[in-house]
Amino acid sequence: MASWVNIPEDSDFSLYNLPYGVFSTSQSSPRVGVAIGDQVLDLKTLSQAGVFNDLGFNTDSLQQATLNEYASQGNAVHRKVRQRLQELLKHDTSLGNVLRDDAQLRGRSLVPIDQVTMHLPMNIGDYTDHFIGLPHAQTSAEFLSPGKTIEQLIPSFWDAPAAYHGRSSTVVVSGTPVHRPKGQTRVDGVTISGLCQKLDFEVEFAAFISTGNEFGTSIPVDEAEDHIFGFVLLNDWSARDFQKNEIASFTSKNFATSISPWIVPLDALEPFRTAPVNGDRKLPDYLVQKMKQSAYDIPVKATLKVDDQSYHIAECNTNNVVFSVAQMIAHHSRGGCALRPGDLLATGTISGPAKEKEGCLMELSYSGTKAYTMSSIEEPSKTIQRTYLEDGDEVIFTAQLDRKDGLGKVGFGSCAGKILPGN
């Protein structure tokens, strides 16, 4: 799918993708845009120019500093806008006079991507992190309760999506540094208070809610995808020493969560569907989904950057989940919990079944008992070892999909965060 906008061969942002984000420049305040090649298209400017006036929705929603109001317009509106943008930007557009051939509007609405600052794309009211990755769950059971299986630790693991409620106030956009947290652990039965000594990352995938449900109602599983705005990569930073000291995740998780800045639309991921693990097992009726290809096959690379070297950590995949996002939504709202535009739902760690596919250092280093060796991407003969993260380490997640049919690549941008010393 060719565009008159320059799209480098290795770009995440093809005309087929068109992910949403919120950006600013030295000359402009935060606003809604979409990424296309090496440019960001300013949707506030296009909306003010009347480009979407005939599509029958509240175009003021594209003139806000977050995507919440636009997301709440619903997926039918999002598809209309997506189709309009693809027509505006394609090489042989029938709407050349609207943008391509209007030098003034084109100059005001296209901004080089290397000149923008990215912000959190949505105002996140609530954040729920799930625990539905099978290999990670199996390893975590041994970490949390040695000798127990995941079924013994969580008897309902195969019957309902397990989750905990995270801290939305500490969800940050990619590139935001993370300070080493302070908290409590126990050594030989004695409480120790201080800086985290076992700081970890977790490779995750997450969905933003578009339209919610009324308090006291639930969302049927076969309608749940209509409530998904799009997807991001997510790093659930974790303090493993604090986690061992807590009944449920609290200070071990609430200090920071990083997300990639661009929200990839549901429709852009349609070609990459797959079934959840053991998806044909018997489930409670409200979780039985007609759509069998309800998960995604998305490889996610984790990289460690130290000084001027980048080291390959692992390659995980979103296909290692035992529930779909639709099933997560159906279960979350089952008791009448109201979901709202901008709510964030994460999968939990999406480790694979082999060492090179594990999505956190807890797994890679055998709970810190054996240093994990990584090779430099630039100089393969150079290696580095980690049991847990050190100050100055930067962890970066990326994912890029190729349709292989000429329509271009689909990516999320990077989800990155650098560890700074504790305050």
Give pLDDT tens digits for 58-97.
999 999 999 999 999 999 999 999 999 999 999 999 999 9
- The CATH number of whichever domain residue 195 belongs to comes to 3.90.850.10
φ/ψ of 87, rounded to 5, equals -70, -40
Which amino acid makes up residue 329?
I
Mean pLDDT of 10-22: 97
Question: Is the per-residue pLDDT at 248 higher than 80?
Answer: no
Instruction: Compute CA 223 distance to the chain's CA centroid, rounded to the nearest angstrom.
Output: 22
Please name the residues in contact with 366: beta carbons below 8 A apart, sequence gap of 6 or more: none
Specify whether 358 is located in the same domain as 210: yes
Specify whether 406 is located in the same domain as 271: yes
Known binding positions for Ca(2+): 129, 202, 204, 236
Question: CB of 145 within 8 A of CB of 367?
Answer: no
Question: CB of 361 within 8 A of CB of 136?
Answer: no
Known binding positions for Mg(2+): 236, 253, 257
pLDDT of residue 148: 87
Mean pLDDT of 261-284: 96
Q: Which of 119, 146, 181 finishes a domain?
A: 119
Question: CB of 270 within 8 A of CB of 75?
Answer: no
pLDDT over 70, % of the chain: 100
Residue (of 82, 90, 135) closest to 316 by Cα position: 135
pLDDT of residue 408: 86
- CA distances from residue 376 to 44, 73, 313, 317, 381 in whole angstroms, order as listed: 42, 45, 10, 21, 7
Question: Is the per-residue pLDDT at 52 higher than 90?
Answer: yes
pLDDT of residue 315: 98
pLDDT over 90, % of the chain: 88
> Catalytic residue among 136, 227, 331, 332, which?
136
Domain that holds residue 231: 127-420
CA distance 316 to 353: 9
| Four-CA torsion 130, 165, 396, 240, nearest 10 degrees | -90
Angle at Cα 166 formed by Cα 257 and Cα 270, nearest 5°? 70
| Four-CA torsion 54, 55, 61, 65, nearest 10 degrees | -90
Specify whether 108 is located in the same domain as 239: no
- For the entire predicted model, the pTM comes to 0.96
CA distance 40 to 112: 6
- The CATH number of whichever domain residue 90 belongs to comes to 2.30.30.230
CA distance 332 to 328: 6
When divided into structural domains, the chain yields a total of: 2
**93 in a structural domain:** yes
Q: What is the residue-averaged pLDDT of the chain?
A: 95
**100 in a structural domain:** yes
CA distance 271 to 402: 10
CA distance 389 to 381: 22
Q: How confident is the model at residue 245 (pLDDT cuts 50, 70, 90)?
A: confident
Annotated catalytic residue 136 = yes
pLDDT of residue 209: 98
**7 in a structural domain:** no
Helix (H/G/I), strand (E/B), else coil: 386: strand
Specify whether 268 is located in the same domain as 218: yes
pLDDT of residue 336: 98
Specify whether 295 is located in the same domain as 314: yes
Specify whether 113 is located in the same domain as 131: no
Specify whether 77 is located in the same domain as 169: no
Known binding positions for substrate: 131, 243, 349
pLDDT of residue 22: 98
pLDDT of residue 246: 80
Please name the residues in contact with 133: beta carbons below 8 A apart, sequence gap of 6 or more: 320, 321, 322, 347, 348, 349, 350, 351, 359
CA distance 13 to 297: 18
Each residue's pLDDT tens digit, 22-47 = 999 999 999 999 999 999 999 999 99
Each residue's pLDDT tens digit, 113-163 = 999 999 999 999 999 999 999 999 998 888 778 888 999 988 999 999 999
Helix (H/G/I), strand (E/B), else coil: 344: strand
**9 in a structural domain:** no
pLDDT of residue 420: 98
Specify whether 133 is located in the same domain as 115: no
Each residue's pLDDT tens digit, 380-407 = 999 999 999 999 999 999 999 997 777 7
CA distance 410 to 401: 5
Q: Which of 119, 137, 159 finishes a domain?
A: 119
Specify whether 260 is located in the same domain as 243: yes
Mean pLDDT of 328-332: 98
204-235 b/e with 16+ CB inside 10 Å = b? bbbbbbbbbbeeeebbebeebbbbbbbbbbbb
**366 in a structural domain:** yes
pLDDT of residue 16: 96
Specify whether 260 is located in the same domain as 142: yes
pLDDT of residue 189: 86
Question: CB of 190 within 8 A of CB of 337?
Answer: no
Q: Which of 93, 119, 145 finishes a domain?
A: 119
Specify whether 108 is located in the same domain as 160: no
Each residue's pLDDT tens digit, 288-298 = 999 999 999 99
Known binding positions: 129, 131, 202, 204, 236, 243, 253, 257, 349
Specify whether 91 is located in the same domain as 204: no
